[in-house]
Amino acid sequence: MDAIALQHVSFTYEDLSHAKGASAQRALTDVSLSVPQGQFLCVIGHSGGGKSTLLRLISGLSLPTEGTVLIDGNPVHGPGMDRSIVFQDYALFPWMRVKRNVEFGIEQANTVLGRGLSKHAIAQRADEYLRLVNMQDACNKYPYQLSGGMQQRVAIARALAMDTQIVLFDEPFGALDVKTRRSLQTLVSSLWARSESPKTTVFVTHDISEAILLADRVVFVDAGQITADFMVDLPRPRTVENLAHNAQAQEIEKRLTDLFYESSPAEDEEEIALSLDAVLGQEVRPWQRF
Ligand code: ADP
Ligand code: MG
């Protein structure tokens, strides 16, 4: 049975503002997708294409307007302890020290799933995962005392230490510099591969090289639909260096780059042009810009 299945899922954001000219925003249209147990799926596409909405539906933070989302064959009615999620903005509890943040996640899963872990076992598990992400020395710090990359390490430790069947990532490294990003990509990839039964992972990104480094499979989401779906059958462990000399990796990169260029003209560009119009008080279109 598939770990995750979306069956003819559509999603519309209702506009609750009742502002003049407001209208409901259709974010996904008739999306069907099956993710087998243990697969590392990357969801890639332009900004505004519907990637986060897709992830929110899998997480249960949003429920479909039409269609069904199934986890292990059971319909999703809301968030559950079988899924953990890592967001771009770290989302640690600011009033808890680093170790407490991780323990809290483990405790929640422990209580809801009735695992019967002792307080001591929970603390040990938190230590183990903080070591894995190389944050053991920061366990008594507060999130605000850490850099973005360090906070994201803790968020990853928390999500993985919860030992959920499914781990969801929404552009977790989007706000980080290239070097930190690379090291966290390697971390996520090695933690995933280290397990005997790898966790089913859905990882949203708009970074092509990130998708090729991490994914078993890539789906391209554009204007609320899946427009491409293919396997990334490259040996692991993968590094930027060894992929640079791999013809198949280059072919996949070209395919993904083409998808970005062929797909709907970037909504971002149109939005940037519109906001420039507003700032400059005149019409500026992409081809006129600087
Ligand atoms: P992505 O993650 O690929 O950038 P999203 O899933 O966030 O895309 O957004 C898909 C579409 O839904 C976009 O047109 C976006 O403007 C719209 N959208 C996203 N969140 C909301 C919201 N809370 N209310 C209204 N529209 C939204
Ligand atoms: Mg998004």
**pLDDT tens figures, 12-45:** 998 777 676 667 889 999 999 999 999 999 999 9
User: CA torsion sign, 103 to 104 to 107 to 108?
Assistant: negative
Phi-psi region of 86 (alpha: psi -120 to 50; beta: other; left: phi over 0): beta
Q: Is 50 in the pocket of ligand 1 (CB under 6 A)?
A: yes
Quick one: average pLDDT of 221-247? 94
Q: Is 27 in the pocket of ligand 1 (CB under 6 A)?
A: yes
Q: Is 51 in the pocket of ligand 1 (CB under 6 A)?
A: yes
- Residue range 84-134, pLDDT digits in tens: 999 888 789 999 999 999 999 999 999 988 899 999 999 999 999 999 889
Query: Ligand 1 test: best mutation among 12, 31, 53, 62, most atoms within 8 Å of CB?
Result: 53
Quick one: average pLDDT of 227-248? 93
Q: Is 205 in the pocket of ligand 1 (CB under 6 A)?
A: no
Report the range of poorest mean pLDDT among 22-26, 150-154, 279-283: 279-283
Task: For domain 1-48+57-76+208-290, give the CATH number.
Answer: 3.40.50
* DSSP one-letter string for 116-140: ---HHHHHHHHHHHHHHTT-GGGTT
pTM equals 0.89
Q: What percent of the chain has pLDDT over 70?
A: 89
